[in-house]
Amino acid sequence: MIVWWIVLAVIALGVIALVVRSRRQRRLSHVVLEPERAPMPEVLVTQIAPRPEIDDSPGLDRRLASSRSIFERVRSISVHGALAPEQLDVVEEVLLRSDVGVATTTALLEELRANGAPDGVAAAIRAALMSSFSADRSVRTSADEGRVPVWLFVGVNGVGKTTTIGKLAWHETQAGKSVVLAAGDTFRAAASDQLQLWADRTGADIVRATEGADPGSVVHDALGRAQAHHADLVLADTAGRRVNNANLLDELAKIRRVADREPGQVVETFLVLDATTGQNALSQAQEFLAAAEVTGIVLTKLDGTARGGIVVAIERELGIPVKFVGVGERAKDLLAFEPAAFVDSLLSA
Amino acid sequence: MFDSLSGRLERLGTSLRSRARLTDADLEEALAEVRGALLEADVELSVVRAFLDAVRERVRGENVAQSLTPGQHVIKAVHDQLIEVLGGTTLKVTYASKPPTVVLLAGLQGAGKTTTAAKLASWFKQQGRQPYLVGTDLQRPAAVEQLRVLGSQIGVEVYSESTDPVSVARAGVAEALRLGRDVVIIDTAGRLAIDEALMAEVREISAATTPHYTFLVIDAVTGQDAVHTARAFHDSLELSGIIVTKLDYDARGGAVLSARGVVGRPVVFASTGEKLADFDLFHPDRMASRILGMGDILSLIEQAERTMDPEVMADSAQRMMSGAFTLDDFMAQLNQIRKMGSLGGLMRLMPGMTKDMRKAAENVDDGELNKIEAIIHSMTRRERREPQIIDGSRRSRIAKGSGSSVAAVNQLLKQFELMKKTMKQMSGGGMPQLPGGMGKMAQMASRAAAQRGDALPPGFEAMASGMRGAAPTVTPSTGGKGKKKKGGRVTPPKNR
């Protein structure tokens, strides 16, 4: 209970107090001796550490080619295609470099060892990865009779939630649907303005409020508007939030409840995930799943050098399917997720 | 999900713990664990390899200190190496002899450049400078608008126009010169390192403004890709340093190590929250502890130095240990804790906390402190000194006075007694089973009390290296009595 936290803090602070006190005393005795602060040097960087060489990590195929002769020999020995350690090393390296993560990589390598590789390592690892993507990735666009379908977008800061909504608004309006955007990010400066520009571009309707307004009420108003105008879909933005703060997650859960109340119905909750994110993405997915019942992932910024391998771990462990990928800044640069293409790109990392 | 590296190494088995010397096999086993920990912390693979080689050298080259177990020895080597890599070079921000000093920020989309630009401006302002912001991100809708809003919050003017990024940057610097501003911060659009056209554009901006500092803004949650990004930006722009953002996330932040390793330039600033004040110089030692999953005791000390009255705290902590401890002391301590910020924020920095404890601490409701305070305030002076005199009628008076219930008063009194008892026991040498971090902390306290006036008590380091992921389950200390009934829950709340 709280008292114990206080005790803990008191003891710690007591220790710290002693340190602080002794520091202060020392400082007092030194104060006379200390010379005027020397002028700052003009040099900007005092010393440059040598740059370590980074392997250029060519594609799996090329790397495997070098060990192919070994592999051929291995295959001629065993019908089941036992794997040479150096081949596994190559696979491990490729997977780790794609942010698949240590645990998942180890698990995949185990599978590989157990099943062997009758058709080659590349094919085997490809099959193992493909089997990770088994969830249903259809996208729900319709709600129960009389209710307005809502897509809710959640995620940490800077992953591209607002941009993703803009792109999806474009897709949906292109498909002839009437869309209402709810500018639920009332925290980040000018986030509503950013969404407004997308609304202008796509012809979607938008409901926004002033900075600092209650995001729940924005969503609520958007639902009212959507119902009044018989809109087909509401896309609700939320502020980026870190997941190690329960208050922020509670707020999100509340927004979701508001969006799911009559006349609204949340039919998809998308976790927007940045492909450059490392292992933290897994804890993001866990927390957002718990707080907002995430039904799908939008993996953004896949057009860079990042592979976004962490979604393998997320789909394997949490069963959240990736539904869209973002591959650029233009509205068109949002595609439905295709496991095969994704796996190929992972392995060519 | 992640275990602290120290915990992993301790679990490696008794062989590593009991032996006086590390054999090569032990070392390799330990290094394999370190490798796993670094990879889980998102350090890039080749950086990990180079790092492990360096640690291997370091461990082999040193004699095992008497006081350290081999496991601790490895941790110390890893820690030292981390600090060396993260902080081997430092960058002192100096100002151009002919102002303005131009600072260029670059990075991927969503790394937090715009927010960082404003935070940096605010930092320069605190340094007594007159910063000026230039927004050249004409690509992301409303990016300039965001900068303007942030600028107005910190009272720094923002320059931008809707021409093209290069001329905006050039005109912005000229405008700063005209206005007599001495620091210009140029925010640029987020760009992918492989986008040749955009990289050429940022090079042009750089050529047009000849920045004194070019910072790469990188996100602490970045994975293996950090090296590609850092290298590409460094090749294009000759970075002078790195700014890491989102350090308030629960990511380990290995990306910092990757980027630092590739670029060979120091990490200069760190951003630790959404608020504009959450921004400061980067501290390599703290980052090292973080990557290894240790606490951040130095930040805590610094915070304490700024805000707390060490006399009050040290005295009351000592009285607490000796058992002569009143509700008045308790109040005084509460006030000191308040001054340091939220209880949860405080606990987050504490070493020896498991992830679960840390998380539970994050969610400690500071409103509870108000309630406790109200109850104590409703007592008479004598009641505070001698809580045993508080009988039924006094209880109901206190409850009424503080707007709480008799049950709440009872609970507080009970917990206070329990706490007193535990403390007395502890200082008497009999360590009750406190949650891991707490026991350690108490040990520390008594040790430090014995040698006060000394510099940093040596225990601190031992604590930092000796921490073993703390107790797996947080066992309540039941004092001498044991078996408390409903009011006596003393376990820090677990995951909620």
* The 3-state secondary structure of chain A, one letter per residue: CHHHHHHHHHHHHHHHHHHHHHHHHHHHHHCCCCCCCCCCCCCCECCCCCCCCCCCCCCHHHHHHHCHHHHHHHHHHCCCCCCCHHHHHHHHHHHHHCCCCHHHHHHHHHHHHHHCCCCCHHHHHHHHHHHHCCCCCCCCCCCCCCCEEEEEEECCCCCCHHHHHHHHHHHHHHCCCCEEEECCCCCCCCHHHHHHHHHHHHCCEEECCCCCCCHHHHHHHHHHHHHHCCCCEEEECCCCCCCCCHHHHHHHHHHHHHHCCCCEEEEEEEEEEECCECCHHHHHHHHHHHHHCCCEEEEECCCCCCCCCHHHHHHHHHCCCEEEEECCCCCCCEEECCHHHHHHHHHCC
From the list B314, B360, B342, the residue with the least C-alpha distance to B491 is: B360
**Mean pLDDT over residues A141-170, rounded?**
93
> Token pair of B30, please?
């330990």
> Best mutation site among B84, B244, B249 for testing chain A: the one with the most A CBs within 10 Å?
B249
Confidence of residue A314 (pLDDT cuts 50, 70, 90): very high
Amino acid at B448: A
**Mean pLDDT over residues A224-228, rounded?**
94
Residue B463 has pLDDT above 70, yes or no: no
Residue B456 has pLDDT above 50, yes or no: no
Residue A150 has pLDDT above 90, yes or no: yes
Confidence of residue B342 (pLDDT cuts 50, 70, 90): low
pLDDT of residue A44: 36
Least confident interval from A310-314, B7-11, B112-116, B414-418 = B7-11
A20·B89 Cβ contact <8 A: no
Contacts of B362 in chain A (CB under 8 A): 244-246
3-state secondary structure chain B: CCCCHHHHHHHCCHHHHHCCCCCHHHHHHHHHHHHHHHHHCCCCHHHHHHHHHHHHHHHHHCCCCCCCCHHHHHHHHHHHHHHHHHHCCCECCCCCCCCCEEEEEEECCCCCHHHHHHHHHHHHHHCCCCEEEEECCCCCCCHHHHHHHHHHHHCCCEECCCCCHHHHHHHHHHHHHHHCCCEEEEECCCCCCCCHHHHHHHHHHHHHHCCCEEEEEEECCECCCHHHHHHHHHHHHCCCEEEEECCCCCCCCHHHHHHHHHHCCCEEEEECCCCCCCEEECCHHHHHHHHCCCCCHHHHHHHHHHHCCHHHHHHHHHHHHHCCCCHHHHHHHHHHHHHCCCHHHHHHHCCCCCHHHHHHHHCCCCHHHHHHHHHHHCCCHHHHHCHHHCCHHHHHHHHHHHCCCHHHHHHHHHHHHHHHHHHHHHHCCCCCCCCHHHHHHHHHHHHHHHCCCCCCCCHHHHHHHHCCCCCCCCCCCCCCCCCCCHHHCCCCCCCC
Q: How many Cβ atoms from other residues are within 10 Å of residue B241's Cβ?
A: 23
Q: Is A264 within 8 Å of A234 (Cβ atoms)?
A: yes
**Mean pLDDT over residues A275-286, rounded?**
92
**Mean pLDDT over residues B203-209, rounded?**
94
Q: State the residue for tokens 């609520």.
A: A220
Give the separation between CA B73 and CA B184, rounded to whole angstroms. Answer: 46
**Mean pLDDT over residues B463-470, rounded?**
33
B148·A190 Cβ contact <8 A: yes
Contacts of A93 in chain B (CB under 8 A): 45
A46·B437 Cβ contact <8 A: no
Of the candidates B153, B227, B452, the beta carbon closest to that of A18 is on B452
Residue A145 has pLDDT above 70, yes or no: yes
If you average pLDDT over every residue of chain A, what do you get? 81
Beta-bridge partner residues of B269: B243, B281
**Mean pLDDT over residues A293-311, rounded?**
91
B225·A306 Cβ contact <8 A: yes
CA distance A42 to chain B (A): 7
By CB atoms closer than 10 A (0-12, 13-18, 19+), residue A37 is: exposed
pLDDT tens digits for range B214-236 = 999 999 999 998 988 899 999 99
pLDDT of residue A305: 81
**Mean pLDDT over residues B112-120, rounded?**
93
Least confident interval from B184-198, B274-288, B352-366, B440-454 = B440-454
Give the separation between CA B130 and CA B402, rounded to whole angstroms. Answer: 49
pLDDT of residue A248: 86
Give the separation between CA A139 and CA B166, rounded to whole angstroms. Answer: 42
A194·B141 Cβ contact <8 A: yes
Least confident interval from A126-135, B84-93, B358-367 = B358-367
Q: Is A271 within 8 Å of A296 (Cβ atoms)?
A: yes
Give the separation between CA B494 and CA B474, rounded to whole angstroms. Answer: 8
Beta carbons within 8 Å of B119's beta carbon, 6+ residues apart:
B269, B271, B276, B278, B279
Residue B52 has pLDDT above 50, yes or no: yes
φ/ψ (deg, to 5) at A8: -55, -45
- More confidently predicted of B468 and B104: B104
Confidence of residue B471 (pLDDT cuts 50, 70, 90): very low
Distances from the Cα of B148 to the Cα of A194, B102, B151, B265, angstroms: 13, 19, 5, 30
pLDDT of residue A318: 93
Confidence of residue A78 (pLDDT cuts 50, 70, 90): very low
B496·A279 Cβ contact <8 A: no
Say how many CB pairs under 8 Å bridge A and B: 336
Instruction: For chain B, report the end-to-end CA distance as a whole number of angstroms.
Output: 16
pLDDT of residue B20: 60
Least confident interval from A64-73, A221-230, B158-167 = A64-73
**Mean pLDDT over residues B56-83, rounded?**
74
CA distance B479 to chain A (A): 13
B100: preceding bond cis by omega (within 30 degrees):
yes
pLDDT tens digits for range A27-61 = 544 443 333 333 333 333 333 334 444 444 444 44
Beta carbons within 8 Å of B329's beta carbon, 6+ residues apart:
B316, B319, B320
For helices B24-40 and B45-61, the axis angle rounded to 10 degrees is 150
**Mean pLDDT over residues B191-207, rounded?**
90
Residue A296 has pLDDT above 50, yes or no: yes
**Mean pLDDT over residues B427-441, rounded?**
48
**Does residue A12 sit at the B interface (CB-CB below 8 Å)?**
yes
- More confidently predicted of A89 and A213: A213
A158·B1 Cβ contact <8 A: no
pLDDT tens digits for range A186-197 = 988 888 999 999
Contacts of A186 in chain B (CB under 8 A): none
If you average pLDDT over every residue of chain B, what do you get? 76
Of the candidates B224, B249, B264, the beta carbon closest to that of A48 is on B264
pLDDT of residue A42: 35
A15·B265 Cβ contact <8 A: no
pLDDT of residue B218: 94
Of the candidates A42, A283, A306, the beta carbon closest to that of B223 is on A306
Q: How many Cβ atoms from other residues are within 10 Å of residue B363's Cβ?
A: 16
Residue A16 has pLDDT above 80, yes or no: no
A11·B274 Cβ contact <8 A: no
pLDDT of residue A2: 67
Contacts of B265 in chain A (CB under 8 A): 45, 48
Write out residues 243-302 of A within 8 Å (CB-CB) of B. Answer: 243-247, 274-283, 301
Residue A285 has pLDDT above 90, yes or no: yes
- More confidently predicted of B122 and A113: B122
Residue B42 has pLDDT above 50, yes or no: yes
Contacts of A44 in chain B (CB under 8 A): 91-92, 94, 212-213, 240
Confidence of residue A112 (pLDDT cuts 50, 70, 90): confident
Least confident interval from A139-143, A291-295, B228-232, B307-311 = B307-311
Distances from the Cα of A238 to the Cα of A159, A191, B250, angstroms: 12, 10, 20
**Mean pLDDT over residues A206-215, rounded?**
91
- More confidently predicted of B384 and B5: B384
pLDDT of residue B334: 80
Residue A108 has pLDDT above 50, yes or no: yes
B143·A190 Cβ contact <8 A: yes
Give the separation between CA A248 and CA A253, rounded to whole angstroms. Answer: 9
pLDDT of residue A273: 95
Q: Is A52 within 8 Å of B46 (Cβ atoms)?
A: yes
Q: Is the dihedral of CA B91, B95, B98, B100 positive or negative?
A: positive
pLDDT tens digits for range A329-342 = 888 889 999 998 88
Residue A236 has pLDDT above 80, yes or no: yes
pLDDT of residue A29: 47
By CB atoms closer than 10 A (0-12, 13-18, 19+), residue B324 is: exposed
Contacts of A281 in chain B (CB under 8 A): 221, 223
From the list B193, B166, B197, B41, the residue with the least C-alpha distance to B109 is: B193
Residue B294 has pLDDT above 80, yes or no: no
Residue B430 has pLDDT above 80, yes or no: no
Q: State the residue for tokens 């992830």.
A: B355
- B279-285 — which CB contacts under 8 Å span 24+ positions? B279/B116, B279/B119, B279/B120, B279/B122, B279/B123, B280/B123, B282/B244, B283/B87, B284/B82, B284/B83, B284/B86, B284/B87, B285/B83, B285/B87
From the list B261, B45, B36, the residue with the least C-alpha distance to A57 is: B45
State the pairing for strand pair A205-207/A148-154: unpaired
> Token pair of B253, please?
């932040």
Residue B429 has pLDDT above 70, yes or no: no
Residue B386 has pLDDT above 50, yes or no: yes
Please give the share of chain B, as a percent, with pLDDT higher than 90: 25
ipTM of the complex: 0.75
B240·A44 Cβ contact <8 A: yes
Of the candidates B47, B248, B301, the beta carbon closest to that of A16 is on B301
Q: Is A192 within 8 Å of A207 (Cβ atoms)?
A: no
Rg of the Cα trace of chain A? 26
B305·A101 Cβ contact <8 A: no
